[in-house]
Structure 1
């Protein structure tokens, strides 16, 4: 299958809107097998030009992706995850029903180009060579006042009861967010772009989004960088968590983003290989302020363990491009969990068991995070001191008592007590 290359542009605060190069696809049948990228000479010569992806160094000539990566890392980050892919595929299937001339979906290539340009994560933008229209030109954002409609339409889609109009509506506003849970892009009353995290049909009687708000509250109280957020009561005991997009400035400008997976150079099937200790080397090499970001990462690991956040894969960490270079993005997707024995959690070090992570192992590798042992112990104690207030925080957020009893296992009392006396 042959598909034309696309122009790749960067919408950067310092450089402005600039074309950075051309992305060429390579197919095996209908699936994207690989791709190659070539920087424009004009971009390479521009003052302040930077590599838009860690696997795309600033060199002349064609750069080919290895077999493990169909797309460069930052381009994978700009593509949808499971939720967005499903919407693109469902909407595409409806279009083919109406018009048999619509070509079959081309896997990751059409996923990348099917995301709304208005809400695509990061600062990369795509369009056909010589064209004026961005890909995709779908609307991309719902008004904050539409949030109840968004919840209803997403629920119908999950129940496999969505109409053609429902699919078109969701495809406009909900293809860019990552992850498997339902989400949509919304515009706040003051114009800020935000991500609405919606209830899931599999949540049962648990208000998952309100528990994530608890995780964000504990993080902020522990001095960890978070985005601003609000809660909206959807129906009954379910909520929508509305989180400001950290890749957009207050005036709506875009900020380049790469995930930790891209920084590590790992593909979708290799997300569990690396430890947090190994990731500290990446932060040290990539960050414009490694000492501050290593300290921040150390605090986040302590919080992750203390609230039993088991969904801490490498796409749930990332970096934003600032005027000085790459910095850790605010923490996101931190969800307390009662799950135990989860092997897919990130191990702290080679000595750590991901099924039962131990903060003593974090303290043992404090030097990897440019911390003296005493300072590492102080940070862990400070985070634990905030985590132990979770019952009061939960009550303040209006989480019912029966949910608090059910979720208590996430906040293991013995683990918190041990963290409070680490030295």
Structure 2
């Protein structure tokens, strides 16, 4: 992969393919230390031009990343997750064993350019200056009918028993988008791009993907926006969760995406900063329909607390470009958890203890979401009314009694009861 500048193109459904600028890397040895971005003058002058990231305002001249960032926010969002980075590194290691003269991996730079162009999150695409082919255009997605092979290969990889062919296969289909769990990009029978979330070797007897589907059902019944999804059986005890990619249209077009971390302009080392109340200010400024999105966000926080979703870092929230502005993306990666006292959960406000999040504190911040206190209390009660039906949903989805007993602590009955009477 190149160590020089790359062209950055936007292939958003609303305006078609357009070159937006050039990204320049700056290395400290073999590590990407920083980068700079410069918008093309033609893009700046075009009708409807928008900043692709809050830290890249529409100005001429180079914009450098701050000290704590190696890439601008939107470019970080186009990079692989932990699972994808490991696959890129493993595949690169195999290539260097075959060809010792191949250049060493350059960290975040090669991670960014190593993501499959076909499956990269959002609408940004990259290529060398003057080139016709997109970066990593030779990799992409599998057919959904390959799911059994994907499961076998992923299991061998997790067990450190994968061949170089296995690693090359996974690195082609499984480097985007976010999260640390095993996953792959697949095409459904109708051609829609979907994310297949796979069982993990450390799931300790839980069908984690099916439990995520339980929360998706609850979210849908509450009225929250979710991706279309399907459950497949991986084995008698485990499942694959297929989620339609919400950054793709039904016709296969791309939608620009921005994570909440990028909206907040925080780097990978700062994902624990900021409360939901502080995020509401950013959401209100960024959203093209702040009243609707703030209400949606308030309801999501109530659900997050009631199912004890502790992994709610700022890359698990995001925005899509639509209707001439940014809108809150559908809910994703919300999982019920039996863990308690988790300090890396998002606090509701600067008065809240993230280890013991309090829905009363959420109610106290209602005005930040442009809600009256009575409206906010009603939303919490209605959310609790759906969440208390969690076991019925789990039974509908075929989860066994042993797993339901283990997961009951996530859906704390006392917490739900208090929410049902909040006012």
TM-score (normalizing by structure 1):
0.99
Which piece of structure 1 moves more, 75-84 or 12-21? 12-21
Instruction: Tell me the distance in 1 between the aligned counterparts of 2:308 and 2:138.
Output: 38
- 2:408 is paired with a residue whose SS is helix
How big is the shift at 1:178? 1.2
Instruction: Tell me the distance in 1 between the aligned counterparts of 2:319 and 2:138.
Output: 27
Q: Which residue of 2 aligns with 1:105?
A: 105
Instruction: Tell me the distance in 2 between the aligned counterparts of 1:399 and 1:148.
Output: 21
Number of residues paired by the alignment?
423
- 2:342 is paired with a residue whose SS is coil
Is 1:94 the equivalent of 2:89? no
How big is the shift at 1:177? 2.2
- 1:357 is paired with a residue whose SS is coil
Instruction: Tell me the distance in 2 between the aligned counterparts of 1:88 and 1:390.
Output: 38
Instruction: Tell me the distance in 1 between the aligned counterparts of 2:148 and 2:14.
Output: 38
- 2:374 is paired with a residue whose SS is helix
1:12-161 alignment, distance < 5 Å: 12-161=12-161
Alpha-carbon contact 2:14-2:322 (below 8 Å) kept: no
How big is the shift at 1:174? 0.3
Instruction: Tell me the distance in 1 between the aligned counterparts of 2:19 and 2:284.
Output: 30
- 2:212 is paired with a residue whose SS is helix
1:228-247 alignment, distance < 5 Å: 228-247=228-247
Q: Which residue of 2 aligns with 1:327?
A: 327
Q: Which residue of 2 aligns with 1:412?
A: 412
Output one character per residue of 1:344-382: Cα deviation in whole Å (capped at 9) or x when no partner.
000000111000000000000000000000000000000
Instruction: Tell me the distance in 1 between the aligned counterparts of 2:323 and 2:138.
Output: 30
Is 1:298 the equivalent of 2:290? no
Instruction: Tell me the distance in 1 between the aligned counterparts of 2:382 and 2:138.
Output: 46
Instruction: Tell me the distance in 2 between the aligned counterparts of 1:397 and 1:236.
Output: 13
TM-score (normalizing by structure 2):
0.99
How big is the shift at 1:324? 2.6
Instruction: Tell me the distance in 1 between the aligned counterparts of 2:44 and 2:327.
Output: 22
Instruction: Tell me the distance in 2 between the aligned counterparts of 1:121 and 1:138.
Output: 16
Instruction: Tell me the distance in 2 between the aligned counterparts of 1:223 and 1:418.
Output: 21
Structure 1 alignment gaps of length 5 or more: none
- 2:355 is paired with a residue whose SS is coil
Instruction: Tell me the distance in 2 between the aligned counterparts of 1:153 and 1:114.
Output: 20
How big is the shift at 1:235? 1.0
How big is the shift at 1:399? 0.3
Instruction: Tell me the distance in 1 between the aligned counterparts of 2:44 and 2:257.
Output: 19
Output one character per residue of 1:114-147: Cα deviation in whole Å (capped at 9) or x when no partner.
0000000000000011101101123210101011
Q: Which residue of 1 aligns with 2:396?
A: 396
1:244-283 alignment, distance < 5 Å: 244-283=244-283
- 1:185 is paired with a residue whose SS is strand
- 1:57 is paired with a residue whose SS is coil
- 2:127 is paired with a residue whose SS is strand
Structure 2 alignment gaps of length 5 or more: none
Q: Which residue of 1 aligns with 2:375?
A: 375
Runs of 4+ in 1 over 6 A off after TM superposition: none
Instruction: Tell me the distance in 1 between the aligned counterparts of 2:287 and 2:379.
Output: 21
Instruction: Tell me the distance in 1 between the aligned counterparts of 2:361 and 2:178.
Output: 31
Instruction: Tell me the distance in 2 between the aligned counterparts of 1:32 and 1:292.
Output: 39
Output one character per residue of 1:257-316: Cα deviation in whole Å (capped at 9) or x when no partner.
000000000011111110000000011000000000000000000000000000000000
Q: Which residue of 2 aligns with 1:172?
A: 172
Output one character per residue of 1:44-73: Cα deviation in whole Å (capped at 9) or x when no partner.
001011001110000000100011110000
